[in-house]
Structure 1
Amino acid sequence: MSKAHVTFSAAEFNRGNEHASMGRDNLLGILESCICPAALVGSLWALAFLYEGDIPPAYLLLAVLTFALTFPGEARLQASKAGSLLDIGVNWFWIAGLLGMTGYATGYIRQFDLQALAAWLWLAPCTEIVLTFGLRIAAPAIISLQGPRQRALIVGMNEQGLALANKLKASPYTRIEVAGFVDSRSTDRLNRDASFPLLGKLDQLAAIAKNDRIQVIYLSLPMASQPRILHILDELKDTTASIYFVPDMFVTDLIQGHPSAVCGMPVISVCETPFRGTNGMVKRLSDIVFSLCILILIAPVLLVIALAVKFTSPGPVIFKQRRYGLDGEEILVYKFRSMTVTEDGGVVTQATKNDSRITPLGAFLRKTSLDELPQFINVLQGRMSIVGPRPHAVAHNELYRKLIKGYMVRHKVKPGITGWAQVNGYRGETDTLEKMQGRIDYDLDYLRNWSLRLDIHIILRTVRLVAKDQQAY
């Protein structure tokens, strides 16, 4: 995809501030990564209160060292019970040995009650065992809290694809449900398994993904199929599915590409949201905190604008327009009405300079972006984010998804009130295909290189630009 318009990329902004992903993609994985440090630190603090009456500085320092050595914890949900017990024992043996030798060599061990340390030697692993097996019992309830299962499609009914499908089917700790396979080979060349239907051929893949509401696609194809793989990826750019390669292969132009594992099988993400696991929690928490603070501060402004809209022109105060949100689902986005019309049908005409439909008050609201303020309510509802690709009217989406490859990939995240494209000159009317291409290039650049620091940078640049930007009509 052309990057001609991206003169200053998000990757350049983040350079020197990269952070490693924990590789935890859901709530269950996050809890699993916290079990070991929580068990060891929690048991230490409990014993400190029991023997010392509080938590002295020596115990706090030991807790920090223990946390640093154990976070994130090992993934044990897929292991056998005996294997988990052995792993916990071996892991605690070397951690306790390392801490003990360090404390003895430095003389720091004299700062502790020896009875408390002796009790910690058996209480810490026992606590970890209880939490580990407790998580196994609670796992089905935790998985159900994350919503309905994700429908997955596997491309390539070969030995490796079937192995992945069987692992997903057998695992009680995954939200992924295999809908079936896609493969163009004749039936006599396939490793058929009656448990999984063959839904169609490769040239039908994009249509199947859209019609069957597929959310995850695994490409189990050999490296020799590279031209076919590139063609498949081009076709899938009109969907919002997360895409993974099952084979070990090098791929460029990835959207949040990173190696991970699915039920023990290695996969490489090709197109994925940056807001999985911890990143998703950070993003949502920052959205809630920022939007609440902003709404409290601007409440009088919202009231004044609402009254002004009501008494200066006929029509509703709030204009609700259908837009595409996360995963291409339709959402209602709020704005103060700035026009004499409220278009939301199959054809929506973008506002232009000196547009006769814009009211005098509406021209001021649009120029200062005050018409966007009700969207902070959308952020609290969870429909939008403060920073992300700007949502387009449904009619515009249907037009541009046919003209720009990768257009629908921007819907891997929630739409934003402001975005990377808007602070780089693509705010307001996109009256040419070239301008829309530039906006999409920046949106995809944001997805590839998201960081909380980048979000804050975009918010600050937006505040500076709103007063002087003359491009919105």
Structure 2
Amino acid sequence: MLGIQGLLARLVDVILIVAGALLASHIRFEDLTQTRVDGAFITFSVALALVSFPVFGLYESWRGRSLLRLSGQVSLAWLLVQAGGLVLMFSVHRTDMISRLWFIYWTATSAAGLIGSRLVLHSVLRSVRHAGMNLRNVAVVGGGVHCREVVSKVQASPASGFRMSALFEVGAGEVFAPKGIPVFENFGKFSEYVRNSAIREIWLALPLSEAPTMLRFVNEFREDLVNIRFIPDVRSMALFDAGVVDLIGAPAISLVASPLPARAMVQKEIFDRLFAALALLALTPLLLIIAIAVKCSSRGPVFFTQFRKGADGQVFRIYKFRSMRAHAEKAGVVTQATKGDPRITRVGALLRRTSLDELPQFFNVLRGEMSVVGPRPHAIEHDEMYQKVVDGYIHRYRIKPGITGWAQVNGFRGETDRLEKMQKRVEHDLYYLQNWSFGLDMRIVIATMVKGLASSNAY
């Protein structure tokens, strides 16, 4: 059953979507007598938004969570709603009645409203929390460096809505005593303080070896309205940020696994297919021009194909516009292009410098073999070589490879004639895996379009 806050949040979103459509109509049709909107389209988008937004967690509490990620979730959810609306209008043959400019203005204004309303709300809550209101009192249980880091993060981010209220020290050694925070070593006194001080959060900042201690706290507060959260110290074991997943009905902490949760993978998959389809439609004239230029530049096929490894090491055939003269290489050997490489045609040099030779990979994205953003795939022969000498190289296969990536927009593209270059590229790929968000994907896409079409490292 929805609470009053959930109903209000949904009502505000509906108002913003409808208001965005009306404002877009006013912008598009300056003459008020010509102003018109498609009521069926708006109604469907509102209904789809009310169904879709909860799936993306937009009505959940974002206390203490990234606002950048929230903005990305809102953008993705709204874009998918609008894409669904276009598909419906196309299926009922009503697209000719919709102004493209009105649709673009509506999408942009409503997106700004949906994101802006949430940022304003969080700004207000931030001010309220800085004033000492709307806070949840937290008691932290732990010891050592990990516990200190958790306590420091709570104290350093009052706007998150949590206030450090007590510490229970576990383990021998020097007692960690934050200023103004009561520290307990006696279990009974700590339990009494938690109950008498309206503490509603107990965070167990403990290593996995402290299972008996965790069970003791869970049993003690089993009959109390206290949230007990486990913040495990698994950094020494986990390659990516450890997350809890449901595995055959039991909670499991992922130490080494795909860093993207299933819901994120679905969102990324939907975005990839839609983006690739729209890109191919928009770029069709350019693709035809490039194909003719490649065919006229030298003998050989228009496309260059090569086997690469994708998600989970699955091999697929990648497509590029051919940029080199047709030549044969020894079996098991792939020679990277170098500066002034005589194999590169004049048209090919331009294509490689501007990355236009990569455009056919949108077909790979549409086929589900690649993603718009992700680690760039390498020749299989290079994979086998670098996997043996570069730490973490194998984990690039945790997700689908991308047309562009975090390493590429940061300058790590082109020839890898030194091992250090490949190590830096892999470091950026692993950073992307550890910090993925829809907002980061959008940042990479925009950076690629703005500055990524030309690079001094590409030849």
What is the TM-score of this pair, normalised by structure 2?
0.49
Q: Flag the structure with more relative contact order, 1 or 2, with Cα contacts below 8 A and sequence separation at least 6.
A: 1
What is the TM-score of this pair, normalised by structure 1?
0.48
